[in-house]
Amino acid sequence: MMRIEATPHKLHLFFCTNTRENGDKSCGDTPDTALLAEQLKKRFKEAKLPIRISRTACLGPCAQGPNIMCYPQQVWFQDAHVEDLDAIDAQVRKILASGSAG
């Protein structure tokens, strides 16, 4: 029988790694979100932060990608690339500490 449980994660990051065969722009056109997910997962695990990292299919705003979505704080990181690793890391820690993007 289905159960409803509270998740243990204070913050969940979804990294779009979607690819398309028809040539339309997609986040998976570059390896950036996959590489960012790998690096941030390692960093947050080492810091023992309650952050979940997931790779996902299309999140919607493909033209603004590569995209990373942050829940439940309702934040997008758009046009995110490997060189943004430290900035995303810092911003996520700030959001986690404050509970919002503000």
Give the x/- contact pattern for ligand FES in 44-63, rule: CB under 6 A. --------------xxxxx-
Least Å from the CB of residue 70 to ligand FES? 14
Mask of contacts with ligand FES, 79-98, x by CB under 6 A?
--------------------
- The CA distance from 69 to 74, in Å, is 7
Q: Is 11 in the site for ligand FES (CB under 6 A)?
A: no
State the Cα torsion 70-71-74-79 to the nearest 10°. 20
79 in Cβ contact with 64 (< 8 Å):
yes
Q: How many residues bind ligand FES (CB under 6 A)?
A: 11
What whole-number distance in Å separates Cα of residue 61 and Cα of residue 75? 13
Position 67 contacts ligand FES (CB under 6 A): yes
Q: For residue 89, is it left (φ>0), alpha (ψ between -120 and 50) or beta?
A: alpha
The residue from 14, 15, 18, 77 that contacts ligand FES (CB under 6 A) is 18
Which residues make up the interface to ligand FES (CB under 6 A)?
16, 18, 26-27, 58-62, 65, 67
